[in-house]
Amino acid sequence: MDQFTLNLIVIGLSFALYIGIAIYTRAGSTSEFYAANRGVSPVMNGMATAADWMSAASFISMAGLIAFTGYDNSTYLMGWTGGYVLLALLLAPYLRKFGKFTVPEFIGDRFYSQTARIIGVICLLVISITYVIGQMTGVGVTFSRYLEVSNSTGLWIGAALVFCYAVLGGMKGITYTQVAQYVVLIIAYTIPAMFIAMQLTGHVLPQTGLFGTHDASGAKFLAKLDQVVTDLGFANYTGHHKSTLDMVLFTLALMIGTAGLPHVIIRFFTVPKVSDARASAGWALVFIALLYTVAPAVGSMARFNLTATMWPGAVTGTEAGSTFSEPAVSLEQIENAPELQWMRNWQTTGLLGWEDKNGDGLIQYYNEAGAEGAPIAEQITAQNLQGNELTTVNNDIMVLANPEIANLPGWVIAVVAAGGLAAALSTAAGLLLAISGAVSHDLIKGAINPGISEKGELFAARVSMAVSILVATILGLNPPGFAAQTVALAFGLAASSIFPVLMMGIFSKRINKQGAIWGMLAGILSTLIYIFTYKGWFFISGTNMLEDTAANWLFGISPASFGTIGALINFAVAYVVSNATEEPPVEVIELVESIRVPRGAGGAIDH
């Protein structure tokens, strides 16, 4: 059976499973549509949250980001998991006790203001729409790579599938589909990682293999990797090279951004009790950690395998310079050897490229730039090198090409394809639900037509879901130029607007309407202005006022880290403005008192 048929069967089976679940779990009421009738067990919700949260970026890109930077990008690992501690301690139990359906609804009720609620809706829409574009693009790319259909056909197939289970099932359908998608994606991620950890270190668990011994050289794996990359003039893998302040701020921005993402928060509305919301955050992190502790092993081992492919001498020997004990891989091998078929496969996608610049028939991969590049000078003279000859290595191929690099059976490749789709589709569905809830519940029922019947609202929710899928698909087909920058934008906005306003709403009785509104505006505007100053106004290239380099950044703070500062500005402005204006009304103080104690959350179901 050829690879294409295998991919078709595995992906087809996974889709049949998702649709089967959707038909079985149709939503019949708004409570089922928005919150799965608050009947999801904490473990199930944890699993669904993990799938909801882990997007194409976690599945495909993160290991590559770590592979080529090493220690400095640990920020992603800590930042994207530490946010769950904040959710469990500071937000999830209280918002569950509040017992309503959307994040802007809490903002509107707690700050007794339609304006605050509408600002919340706008933040939610900007965050979720920018985020969903990335997922839809991911779906299109995966389809076109593995099913040999065009990018746009792939996107429409993905959109039709999401339409089936999200519009029919709402939160209830999405929850149980996400549980299935989690299982698919975690299997797809860990199986190749286990094979590779076995091959390199003899450990079955990638988590222990990372800190284990490299079999071929007898050295510790990470020490071996450090030696190989420094031989070739790259910065050492385990070393700290970036600014400490920026690392701290970036990690914090990712953490509070994660805790402020509306599509993650609404997942905690589905559990029966307040105590379940706390435990559920723990379960979510357990399931996320299964992937996040494998990712650094995948990254480092993929980096090692790639380097050892280019320099066969890198495998044995432990002393500095032993990488050059054998010549680099030859052009003839890359073009003909069966075990290097994967390089030719990925060359056709444009994500991997090489060029024999000095015409010696060998492809030398190295770095000569910066202080790290100094050790390579001797080899440059000895081998007459004219520049690095592995000209293109895209971060994203580290996960996707892994099974091919390690020569794993065809069904593993098919499962990885299904896993990538599961990661993108599950996140897209969660985002679309957050969007449709904000439109039908906060805009239509909350502002435009408060007298709408439950049946009418359910219909409106389905229509807005369908429209959002259409909009997301069209944006996915023609991704705006800023698609790559959206992570900074989404996390920056979530960190600087939604997280602080929710936290103050729960932990302070003094923050009032004016404080919340001015705080949110100050947080959002300062973050947007900072990002646009370096990335260009509305991400239009050439309109940036300062060049986006570390030397120009204010105190060395990168635009992606600025969400932390935006959050601090939000807190400070809200505090000052609230204390200068009147106290919140007594019924709002009673609301805060009531969300602080768990008893009575069950009764909130039929509000």
Partner 1 sequence: MSDRQSSNAYWQANLRIIWICLAIWALVSYGFGIILRPLVSGIKVGGTDLGFWFAQQGSILVFIVLIFWYAARMNRLDREHGVDE
Contacts with partner 1, residue ranges (CB under 8 A): 66, 71, 74, 77-78, 81-82, 84-85, 88-90, 93, 207, 210-212, 219-224, 226, 238, 240, 244, 247-248, 251-252, 273-275, 278-279, 281-282, 285-286, 289, 292-293, 296, 593, 596-602
CB nearer to partner 1: pick between 75 and 436: 75
What does the alpha-carbon distance between residue 234 and residue 69 come to, in Å, rounded to a whole number? 10
Closest CA to 12 of 413, 401, 400, 415: 415
> From the CB of 74, what's the least distance to partner 1, in Å?
4
- Among residues 560, 556, 569, 562, the alpha carbon closest in space to that of 245 is found at 556
CA atoms within 13 A on the CB side of 60: 25
By C-beta, is 359 or 555 nearer to partner 1?
A: 555
H or E element in which residue 89 lies? none
Contact 6, 414 (CB under 8 A): yes
Q: Measured from the CB atom, is 25 or 81 closer to partner 1?
A: 81
Minimum gap (Å) between residue 301 Cβ and partner 1: 13
- Of 182, 210, 171, the residue nearest 63 (C-alpha): 210
Cβ proximity to partner 1, 177 vs 561, nearer residue = 561
Q: Among residues 89 and 447, whose Cβ is nearest to partner 1? A: 89
Reading the block at residue 51, the tokens are: 């799938």
Nearer to partner 1, 161 or 210 (CB): 210
* Closest separation in Å from C-beta 285 to partner 1: 5
Minimum CB distance to partner 1, residue 151 (Å): 35
In terms of CB distance, is 9 or 223 closer to partner 1?
A: 223
Amino acid making up residue 248: V
CA 148 vs CA 4, 143, 260, 476: distances in Å: 8, 7, 38, 18
DSSP 302: H
The answer to whether 424 and 452 have CB atoms below 8 angstroms apart is no
Least Å from the CB of residue 576 to partner 1:
23
| Least spacing, CB of residue 209 vs partner 1, in Å | 10
Specify the amino acid at residue 57. Answer: A
How many Cβ atoms from other residues are within 10 Å of residue 320's Cβ?
A: 11
Measured in degrees and rounded to the nearest 5, phi and psi for residue 263 equal -70, -25
Least distance in angstroms from the C-beta of 266 to partner 1? 19
Tokens 């019949």 label which residue? 28
Q: In whole angstroms, how close is the CB of 357 to partner 1 at the nearest point?
A: 34
> Which two tokens mark 578?
């609230």
Distances in whole angstroms, Cα of residue 413 to Cα of each of 91, 187, 313, 400: 39, 12, 28, 8
Is the CB of 90 or the CB of 521 nearer to partner 1?
Answer: 90
